[in-house]
Amino acid sequence: MTMVKEQKDNLFVLVKSLSKSEKRQFKLYVGRLGVNEDSKFLMLFNILDKLKTYDESAILKKGIVKKQQLSNLKAHLYKQILISLRLNPSHQNIRIQIREQLDFATILYHKGLYKQSLKILDKAKNLAISHEEKNVAYEIVELEKVIESQYITRSISNRADELTIQAKELSLQNVLASKLSNLSLQLYGLFLKTGYVKNDEEFQVIDKYYRDRLPKYDINKLGFREKLWLYKAKLWYSFLTVDFLSCYKYASKWVDLFYKNKDMIVLNPVFFLRGNHYLLEALFYLRHYDKFKDTLSKFETITQEKWFPLDDNNESLAFLYIYNNKFNLHFIEGSFVEGLPLIDDVLEKLKSYSNRIDEHHIMVFYYKMASMYFGAGESRKCIYFLDKIISNKSLQMREDLLCFSRILNLVAHYEAGLDYNLDVLIRSTYKFLIKMEDLYEVQKEFIKFLRVLGDIYPHEVKNEFIKLHKKLKEFENDPYQSRAFLYLDIISWLESKIENRPIGQIIRDKFLQTQV
């Protein structure tokens, strides 16, 4: 059964995202405008504020506006809210301040007050360069050139040369940063679509794609911003090619870059949060338990510092990354039962962040919840969350996530003793997997195993588990096949069947052996 999605209206979502202080600020701002307090857009604001879900007919019933005028009134209100938010001190950052100075300078220039305009531009430019805001710095230099060409300052004779050199330098840095950011984004897009490379052929394609697009650079000449994009591109290449050691290397460089430039954490908190998340992901895949635990603890502590900028966006991202890795910590330890309280915690938080977290990340949470229940031996609850992923027809990303959701679903049905429709489930899973362009050998072997499972006598099942376990063990150290086990630890599950012990206990024992 698929859920009917509630209508999402941009203005309604914006109104609902406002804090109490932002709503108060908006009403003060409207008052300052000197317009009638009963102005239609303020009345619309109050109606939307009270509504639980967006309902156009309820708005029209209030009689403040005719249907054909509603979209104009909504657009006007949307703009007024944004202006009010821009004036709010909590949204004032260096970027907005620089842009504001550029606006002021442009107004002064158009009034013919060239000297005053140049003075503001020079200050704004220095501020932009010192905060690595090189795109706006380039804009400022271009405006300085326009003004200088009309108003020649006698004070600096080589002013024209100075500005030309500066513009050229900034332009080269911006082009390099743009090429690196493009490459990083393209690699990330490939990863979301296909997941990790599965064979040499796929590796060659990704490797060529990456090398053809990686621009030439001198690491010693790169600033903070260029280094950040370089590390991001290298990180995504490492993730795609399943080189987790390199993932760790570049995620560490990324995070260290921020720790060496702490003011950049405040200016670019999103990149700081993401860098930490990828560092933790690499450590999780490498099973570096102590380092993982320390990094997660340090990461959570820093996001709770008073100086850390937790706006709506950063708050939801911090939640996403910290809780994802809290799940991973339990998976490393094999502490599935102890991890169950996390599920209710996350489901509660997902409600409050529903407008800010995309569907893909919600599905990843569902997969982790399903895995937690599976490890804790609660197969029916595992199936409940997997069904949310499998029945989601709008999900068009991460084929590997969809694929392993179906395989885990099969295993969970088997575990729960729900074998009355196992044949139907095997066939539908098989059909789905065959449609996928490239299957892991692990998946192929598992499907073969499942196809014969229905035809053998119960006392022969254990022998089939042993045979499959032996085959899959061959893939455990294969660089392309082993990542199938990152999504689903089939080997530990088979061992739990062979030894007749809970899977959580098997994984926990393996973890404890690594700690000796």
Please write the tens of the pLDDT for every residue from 8-28.
Answer: 788 998 898 888 888 888 888
Q: What is the pLDDT of residue 448?
A: 79
| Alpha carbon distance 169, 100 (integer Å) | 24
Q: What is the average per-residue pLDDT within 269-293?
A: 92
Listed range (127-136, 333-342, 385-394, 422-431) with the worst mean pLDDT: 422-431
pTM recorded for the entire structure: 0.76
Contacts of 327 (CB under 8 A, 6+ apart): 339, 342, 368, 371, 372
pLDDT at 348 over 70: yes
pLDDT at 391 over 90: no
Q: Which two tokens stand for residue 484?
A: 């199938």
For 144-190, write each residue's pLDDT tens digit. 888 887 766 555 567 778 888 889 988 888 889 899 999 999 998 88
| Alpha carbon distance 100, 123 (integer Å) | 12
Greatest mean pLDDT among 189-193, 242-246, 438-442 = 242-246
For 231-249, write each residue's pLDDT tens digit. 999 999 998 998 989 999 9
pLDDT at 222 over 60: yes
Longest dimension (CA), the chain: 98
| Alpha carbon distance 272, 276 (integer Å) | 6
Grouping H, G, I as helix, E, B as strand and the rest as coil, residue 393 is coil
Grouping H, G, I as helix, E, B as strand and the rest as coil, residue 28 is helix
Q: What is the pLDDT of residue 2?
A: 40
For the chain, the structural domain boundaries read: 10-91, 94-154
Contacts of 170 (CB under 8 A, 6+ apart): 134, 137, 138, 141
Pure H helices in 353-460: 359-375, 379-390, 399-415, 422-435, 441-453
Choose among 25, 22, 68, 71: nearest CA to 44.
71
| Own/partner long-range contacts of 280-287 (Cβ < 8 Å, ≥24 apart) | 280/321, 280/325, 280/328, 281/247, 281/251, 281/325, 281/328, 282/244, 282/247, 282/248, 282/251, 283/248, 284/325, 284/328, 284/331, 284/332, 285/244, 285/247, 285/486, 286/244, 286/245, 286/248, 287/332, 287/514
Q: What is the pLDDT of residue 451?
A: 72
